[in-house]
Structure 1
Amino acid sequence: MASSKHSEEEILKLGKKLIQELKLEYSVNTLARWLVHYLAELIDNIENCKSPKRKKQLQKECCELILKLWSNKEFLPITKPLQSLQPILEILEVFKERDYLISPRWLEYRPLPRDNAWANFIDVVKNNTENIFNKSIELHLNSDLMFKDEQWLNEHKEFLTKTERELLTQLDTMIAMKGSSSIDFDKVKTSSIEERFNHIFDDLEELIEGQKKELLRLKESVRQTLSKN
């Protein structure tokens, strides 16, 4: 274990976490069922061993196995760190691919009065589009979704990559900022996932319809201007 940067206590704690995750696949996955039994037996042997020398040997063998499993976690039938956040990561990746400089504002939009119809149109399109982006992100970015990943961050931080730790911290900060969110979370937090999505889709349709209405006002304004000339 001298070559490992983690303590035996941390590694055994990770082993118990792997057992918990594997149990979720226990009934339908032969590999998960075997690993649960095997890891649980090894850890149980350590905890009940009376000989300090034998206990140290068992700890070394068990920790080596846990680290080997962790190094091949992509092949384990468990929910990996950040796996549940994949939808939000893919949305954010779209912004990066297209060089969008849009980030969630969670600020109430108050349009300024203007006499310029084109400025009004651009203003509505710009702000409604930002709200569409933000609502799409906020729909996926919720505390329930983050719960399991926060467990990895809080309890097994040492085993996450630097990128994973930074991303989880950033997403956690974004969630903490949702107090001024444009989404009514009390309304969407229901037992029905369908109701939640219906609510957000209603909001998105309203935002898109607002852009269309502003376009029609712009067209009418231009027609009136042209008719006077």
Structure 2
Amino acid sequence: MANQPNRKGSNESPVRRKTGVAQIELKSEAVYLHMRGQSGEALNNSLYRLGELFKMTNRSTNKTTYNMLKEWFQNEIISIADNEIDKLSSHFDSLQSELIPGYSFVDIKNPDMNLEINIIHKSHIEVINIISKIDLIMDDIEAIALSGTFDDDIEQSSRNQALLILNNISSKIFKVTKPGKRNGGPFSPVFFLEGLQKGVFSLYPDAEKESNVVNIESTNDKNTAEESVELTEAV
């Protein structure tokens, strides 16, 4: 008989949804400290919110909204993050090509950097894969930095570039779902989905703002043309 996963004790706070607890072993101090702090908590909270939306729409008989969310997640979160990881990898390659001789290590020891992450939907796993990719690159950069081959500010700029990828994920999810806070209260996935289905809320608020600017300019041009006709007729 297979071993059953340990169940949460009765003294722990209840969970709202069936939750898998994954343990990941990180190698980069920068990524570990980021995920252990408030930024990591914000990322987890944003993914929980998105996971709720995925689960609610997937159970619906009308999968239109689910497909909208899935397309948005792949294009605006995963693809963009992967592109930024490619840039981070290229940055690491450029650092390697400019290395000057430094200390050579027979081994590099990491402290215990294990984290538990709650998962309620597979979208969470896709972001964990992104975290792992960033972690591996930053592990190499930190190892090079230990050898004294480049200045501390280069390591810091690399760290900023890496962690910005994770911050952008949480900030984008929160920005898009912000209208789901009815009257400034807690986020309501039901309220957000209702507004999304009615076209009141949008997954692309920035694009809509740009569209509105274009529409305003077009309207102004139209009004100017109509005013010119009226003035000509008056003369």
TM-score (norm 2): 0.25
Which structure's CA Rg is the greater one? 1
Higher relative contact order (CA 8 A, sep 6+): 2
Q: Which has the higher helix share?
A: 1
TM-score (norm 1): 0.26
